[in-house]
Structure 1
């Protein structure tokens, strides 16, 4: 097995809000990967004393531990328990009902000798390569399917869409959100490799149109995860003045890529 992990903040002087881990249990018979993209809140009150990196570190740590220590539990239950554990760590000091309480997108994948399971919540991507070279992108596209007119202000998003039916969901303080995740199970023999990317890295496909998901996977395999992030940074800098592709998005976003070959 070969693994590669790269995670970079969008700005050098700002903490990276992403989290990534790969866990290989001592048995050598399986493993798990976790990728979180912390949601940067707008300026103003969040109801919480803690930062987004504080939250992603604790949620990501809980997901990593539970994925390898509780292999009998389905992934939604693991996410639910990890959210609850994280919420309990600050519920006495923070208002966890606030719509901007710290939160994150989630990719969780776990493999054994028999199967590969996956869970996706919000706008990160999991690419799966089959033995014949086919690349399948597993996505939670609810946010992408919303009309741009519904996303004009943070207040509108928070009141009508964020963690609401008909909108989109992220991992925050409510453990029941785990039932909203996109999940699946594949025979282990049908999977040759996995690549997980936060939306700072999926810009290569989704904003700058350098290629499709297959091209993105091939780039990571041949050039490496760091090369993909470096290329995204080049494209961001080139578009910073005209904003032809970036539009209203931040110029640089935290970018994480995890690649696993079996």
Structure 2
């Protein structure tokens, strides 16, 4: 088995809000991959005393521990438990009902000798390569399908879209949101390698249109996770003035790529 993990902040002067881990149980069989993309809050009040990196570290740590130590617990239940545990650490000091309480997108996968389980919540990506080289992208595309007008302002998003029916969902303080995730199981024999990407890395496909998901996966497998992040950064710098691709998006975003050959 071979793994590779690269995570880089969009701005070196700011903490990286992503979280990533790969864990291999002591039995030597199977493994777990966790990738979270913390949601950068607006400058206004969030109802919480804590930062997004504080939140992603705790949620990611809880997810890693639960999925490794409880291999028979479904991923949806593991995420719900991790959200509840994390919420419990600051429920007495913070307003967890605030729409901008710290939150994150989630990619979670666990593999054994028999199967590869996966869970995707919001706009990160989970890619699976089969033994014949075919690549399948497992995505939660609800955010991308929303009318752009509904995303015009933070106020509109918070009032009508964020963690609302008909909108999109992220892991925040409500454990029931785990049930909204995209989930599935792939037979272990159908998986040669897999990768998780936060949306700072998926820009290579989704924003700059440099290739499709199969092209992206092959780039990571052949040239490494670092090369994908470096290419995204070069594309961002080239478009920083004209913003033909970036539009209103931040020039650089936190970018995380986790790759595993099983």
Q: Same fold (TM over 0.5)?
A: yes
The answer on 1:7 being equivalent to 2:7 is yes
2:181 is matched with 181
Q: Which ranges in structure 2 are unaligned for 5 or more consecutive residues?
A: none
- Give me the whole-angstrom Cα distance separating, in 2, the residues matched to 1:241 and 1:22: 37
- Give me the whole-angstrom Cα distance separating, in 2, the residues matched to 1:188 and 1:46: 42
The answer on 1:52 being equivalent to 2:56 is no
2:208 is matched with 208
1:166 is matched with 166
Is the partner of 1:258 in helix, strand or coil?
Answer: strand
- Give me the whole-angstrom Cα distance separating, in 2, the residues matched to 1:19 and 1:123: 15
TM-score (norm 1): 1.00
CA-CA distance at 1:189 after TM superposition: 0.4
- Give me the whole-angstrom Cα distance separating, in 2, the residues matched to 1:26 and 1:46: 40
2:87 is matched with 87
Spell out structure 1 runs of 4+ moving beyond 4 A. none
- Give me the whole-angstrom Cα distance separating, in 2, the residues matched to 1:223 and 1:39: 29
Is the partner of 1:21 in helix, strand or coil?
Answer: strand
- Give me the whole-angstrom Cα distance separating, in 1, the residues matched to 2:133 and 2:23: 25
2:151 is matched with 151
CA offsets, 1:226-250, max 9 Å, x none? Answer: 0000000000000000000000000
CA offsets, 1:62-91, max 9 Å, x none? Answer: 000001000110000000000000000000
- Give me the whole-angstrom Cα distance separating, in 1, the residues matched to 2:187 and 2:220: 23
1:252 is matched with 252
- Give me the whole-angstrom Cα distance separating, in 1, the residues matched to 2:222 and 2:29: 26
Correspondences of 1:31-50 after superposition (within 5 Å): 31-50=31-50
2:127 is matched with 127
RMSD (Å) for aligned C-alpha atoms: 0.4
CA-CA distance at 1:132 after TM superposition: 1.1
- Give me the whole-angstrom Cα distance separating, in 1, the residues matched to 2:243 and 2:86: 37
The answer on 1:230 being equivalent to 2:230 is yes
CA-CA distance at 1:154 after TM superposition: 0.3
Aligned length: 262
CA offsets, 1:110-143, max 9 Å, x none? Answer: 0000000000000000010011111000000000
